[in-house]
Amino acid sequence: MIVVQSTFHLASDSKRDALKLMRNMVRLCRLEHGCISYEYFEGISNRNQVILIQEWENADCLQQHYQTDHMENFLSKLGEYLVSPVETRSYVSQEEPSVTSISAGDRPKPEQTIH
């Protein structure tokens, strides 16, 4: 699985239009082959900061995503809404994604580290 995190710093006067563009990307990207999840999150301390977290089955699916018409359209319009360049990080996981629910009483104790 590939996880990509991108941070967008939006101009406050055009934020509404940027979010509309991002909502459209969510809709289109979730339809793509290999898309596990695709979602934007608004900052709490900086409401003009938006973070995209996207998960893809593998690198081939991610590369196909980068070649789509809607990605080209998104990138062609994105610059007019930004106050600084997008910051992006990618992470690769060799394991299958899993979700574990732990109740408060069952939390494992953190391991001690000796320095």
Q: Render pLDDT for 40-55 as a digit per residue (tens, 0 to 9).
A: 999 999 999 999 999 9
- Say what the pTM is: 0.79
Q: How confident is the model at residue 108 (pLDDT cuts 50, 70, 90)?
A: low
Measured CA to CA, the distance from residue 41 to residue 67 in angstroms comes to 24
pLDDT tens for 9-20 read 999 999 999 999
> Structural domains in the chain?
2-93 (3.30.70.100)
Q: What is the mean pLDDT of residues 1-30?
A: 98
Whether the CB-CB separation of 48 and 15 falls below 8 Å is answered with yes
Strands (E), the chain: 2-9, 35-42, 49-56, 87-92
